[in-house]
Amino acid sequence: MQNTDRKKDIKIKKYILGVLIVTLTILTTIITLMYVLKSKEEQQSKATQILDPSKQEAANISKETATENQNTTQTDTRVLIQPLQERIASDEERIMQIEEEIKALKEIIKKQEIASALFMDNVQKTDTFIETINRVISESQKILRSLVLGHGESITKLNNLVFRATGVSSIQNQPGKRMSVFKDSPEEEEQP
């Protein structure tokens, strides 16, 4: 009995949940449609607002021409067309100015792209130059180390010769010991 009651409760809850989902979808659809229709109405009202000044100008001109030409019942179309042509001409001038500004901006962008490309090229050249210098320095250090380690005895003899010429006592070459030119104490020689 309880099992069937639970199944009924579950079915009722599922039904209510389904109804809620359907109503929510319907509401969201209605809201989106209202939003779309509202935006279309706003666009149409903006378009009519844009057209209203030209309509008002045409109406004012037609009233002026009607008062001028009271004897005739027809309005002169040239009078109606002239302000519109002036407006079109001013719009064309604005368009020309905007196009010139766009061209100038494009030229500036091209110049900036060229400058950034040159800068990046200079950075790459500088990086390769620095790498080359570092490579040469490390190779020079290796060569100097090999010269110093390989010619230890000849360097000691050379030092003794230099020191004797200056009046300093000579350096004794002891196996496993190395005398420092800048210190008075012997240094331990590193064995490979």
- pLDDT tens-digit readout, 35-56: 777 777 777 776 666 655 656 6
The verdict on residue 30 lying in a domain is yes
The verdict on residue 120 lying in a domain is no
**pLDDT score, position 86:** 85
The verdict on residue 167 lying in a domain is no
The verdict on residue 101 lying in a domain is no
For residue 178, name the pLDDT band (cuts at 50, 70, 90): low
The verdict on residue 181 lying in a domain is no
Query: Could you tell me the pTM of the whole model?
Result: 0.33
Structural domains in the chain (count): 1
The verdict on residue 58 lying in a domain is yes
| Residue listed under structure tokens 């090999």 | 146
Sign of CA dihedral 18, 20, 21, 25: positive
Q: Which residue range forms the structural domain that includes residue 52?
A: 1-74
136-174: pLDDT as tens digits: 888 888 877 777 676 767 777 777 777 766 666 655 555
**pLDDT score, position 190:** 47
The verdict on residue 35 lying in a domain is yes
**Are 172 and 165 within 8 A, CB to CB?**
no
The verdict on residue 186 lying in a domain is no
60-97: pLDDT as tens digits: 666 666 555 555 555 566 666 877 888 888 888 888 99
Rounded to an integer, what distance in angstroms lies between the CA atom of residue 136 and that of residue 140? 6
